[in-house]
Amino acid sequence: MSKRRPSTFERLNRRERRQWERRLYSPNPGLVIVNPNAAGIDVGNESHFVAVPPDRDENPVREFGSWTESLHRTCEWLLGCGIDTVVMQATGVYWMALYDLLESRGLRVVLCNAQHTKNLPGRKSDVQECQWLMKLHTYGLLPNSFRRPEAMRGIRTVWGLRGRHVEEACKAVQHMQKALTKMNLQLANVISDISGVTGLAIIKAILQGERDIYALADLRDRRVQASREEVARSLEGTWRDDLLFELQQGLDAYEFAQQQMQRCDVQLQKYMEQLPSRPALEPKPAEAPADGKSTSRRRRKDPPAPRGNAPAWDVTSELKRVTGVDLTRIDGIKAMTAFTIVAELGTDLSAFPDEDHFSSWLGLTPNKRVTGGKVVGHDKRNVRNRVAAALRMAASTLKESKSWLGAFYRHKCRALPAHASANKATAHYLAKLVYRMMTKGEDWVDRGAEQFQRRRDDLDLEALSKRAKAKGYALTPMAQA
C-alpha cells in the first residue's frame, strides 16, 4: 500500500511552519484583497455556520438551521451585512438547497472542493472552518467548481435515476439466471441473453405452468442459432416450487425496473424538447486519410432501432440538434455514451479553457508530483466522474476495431503495463476529441488502422536513428546494404 503524499505544509520545517501559520492567521497576512464583501459557510446536515467580516456585525459568526425558513433568514442576514459573494464546500448534497436559494437572491456563490482548503491543519470546529473559508475567499484563493446550467440539471437527475434502474434490471437478470441454474435449466448456454425475446417468452411460459420442453423450445425466435432440439434439451430440469417463486420474484423486479426506465425516458424526452436548438458549428477541415478514402462508419438514413437499454426515441437526432455536432461519429462513442456526456456537462463547454483542463477535470490525466521542476512520482487520481467512466467503457470497445482509434488503443495496450492504463489513455484522447467537436466543430475523420501503423513505424525509425547517431552510428536499409 502506497504512503500518502505529504502536503506542502508538511514538507516545511518547524520554523517555516510557524512563519506561515503566523502570517495566514494574522488579521493582515499581506495578500491582495479580491473579494472584500465575502462570507464563508460551513455546510452541515442539521445546521450551517456562517461567517462575515468582523466589522459587519457584532456577532460575525452565526449558526442557522437547515430548514427552509432558516435558510431565508441566512440570506436576509447576509444581504443586511452587505455581502455579495459566498463560498461553501461541496459537502454531500446538503449544499444544494442553500446554493439555489442564495443564487436566487442575487448572491454570487462559489462552490469549492474540500481538498483545496485542508492544506493547513488546526481548524477543529465549524466556527473556525467558516472563518477560514471566508478568509481564503477574501483573497481569491479558492477556485469555483463547475456547475451545470439550470436547464441541464433536470436531465442529469433523471438520467442518473435511469442508470440506477438499469443496474436494478441487471441484478434482476442475475437473480433469474441463478434460479434457472439451481433448477438445472441451462437456457443461458443456448441463447445469448435470457432477458431477450426468446428468454423472457420461455421464462413466462414456465411460470404459467408449461412443462413440455419442446413446446417451450418452439417459443424461440427465428434469429436464435441453436436448434429446437438443443433448446429443448437445455430445459430439462427440476421444477421446485421455491425456485419457481424465486424466478417469479426476479421477473417481477425486472419488469418493474423496465417500467421505471420507460417513465424516465418519457420525462427525458420532455426535457430534451425544451432545450433550444444549437446551430451546427462550422466544421474545420479535418485531416484526410493518406489514400484519400475515408474508412469512417457509414451512417444510416433512418435511425437504427433501439437496442438493449437504450431509450425508445431517437436519441442521436436530439443530441445533434441541441449540440450542433454528431458525437457518435467518433468510433466507440454510441448514443448512450453521448447522452451521458451531454447530461453531465451540458451543451456548452466554454467553462473549460482548453482540452487539457477538460481532461484534468474528468480525472483522465496523470497526477504528477513535481518538486524543483522535476517529476518525482505519480499518484492515482481518485476522481469519480460519470463522463470519465463512460469514456473508459467506450475505449474498451475499441479492442477489435479496425479504425485509427482501434489501432491507437492496441498500441497503448502494448506500451502501457496494464489494460486499465490503456483504457484511461484512450479515454483521455476521446475526451479531447469530444471537446474539439463541441467547441470548435472539428469533424472526426477516421484515417484507418494502416495509417496509424505507418505513422508509428516512422516514429520508431526516427527514434532509432537518433539513438544510433548519438552512439556514432548510422542506420542503413537492408536492401542498400
Q: How confident is the model at residue 401 (pLDDT cuts 50, 70, 90)?
A: confident
291 HSE (CA, 13 A, CB side): 11
DSSP assignment of 101-139 equals: HHHHTT-EEEEE-GGGG-SS----SHHHHHHHHHHHHHT
Angle between helical axes of 241-274 and 150-182 (0-180°, round to 10): 160
Total-model pTM: 0.78
Mean pLDDT of the chain: 83
Q: What CA–CA distance (Å, rounded) separates 271 from 315?
A: 12
Q: Give the residue from 329, 314, 225, 325 showing the smallest Cα distance to 273.
A: 314
- pLDDT tens digits, 174-220: 999 999 999 999 888 888 888 888 999 999 999 999 899 899 999 98
Q: What is the pLDDT of residues 404-446, one digit of tens each?
A: 888 888 888 888 877 778 888 899 999 999 999 888 877 777 7
C-alpha distances out from residue 443 to 283, 317, 434, Å: 6, 17, 10
Per-residue confidence at 298, pLDDT binned at 50, 70, 90?
very low
Residue with cell 489513455: 425
What are the φ and ψ backbone dihedral angles of 452, each rounded to 5 degrees?
-65, -40
User: Minimal CA–CA distance to 133: which of 146, 107, 106, 114?
Assistant: 114
Residue of 15 and 25 predicted with greater confidence: 15
Q: Using one digit for the tens of pLDDT, what is the confidence trace for 71-110?
A: 999 999 999 999 999 999 887 888 888 988 998 888 999 9
Confidence at 300, pLDDT banded by 50, 70, 90: very low
The pLDDT of residue 267 is above 60: yes
Percent of the chain surpassing pLDDT 70: 85
Look at residue 89 and give its three-state secondary structure: strand
C-alpha 135/C-alpha 33 separation (Å) is 10
Range of 376-390, 420-434, 444-458 with top mean pLDDT: 420-434
* Residue 134 near residue 38 (C-beta atoms within 8 A): yes
Please say if the pLDDT value at position 293 is more than 70: no
- Tell me 451's DSSP state: H
Question: What is the rounded average pLDDT of the residues 341-347?
Answer: 90
Count of positions (residues) in the chain: 481
Task: Give CA–CA dist 223/107, Å, rounded.
Answer: 61
Name the pLDDT band for 254 (thresholds 50, 70, 90): very high
Query: Distance between CA atoms of 140 and 36, rounded to whole angstroms?
Result: 10
Task: Please state which of the four CATH numbers 3.30.420, 3.90.75, 1.20.120, 3.30.70 is assigned to the domain occupying 14-138.
Answer: 3.30.420
Q: What three-state secondary structure class fits 88? A: strand
For 447, other C-beta atoms within 10 Å of its C-beta total 24
At position 284, the amino acid (one-letter code) is: K
C-alpha 191/C-alpha 174 separation (Å) is: 15
d(CA 288, CA 447): 7
Asked if residue 258 lies in contact with residue 311, where contact means CB atoms within 8 angstroms, the answer is no
Instruction: Answer for the pair 100, 88: CB distance below 8 angstroms, yes or no.
Output: no
What's the pLDDT tens digit per position in 134-177? 888 888 888 888 888 788 888 999 999 999 999 999 999 999 99
Looking at residue 292, its pLDDT comes to 46
* The pLDDT of residue 121 is above 60: no
Domain boundaries, the chain: 14-138, 151-274, 282-370+377-481
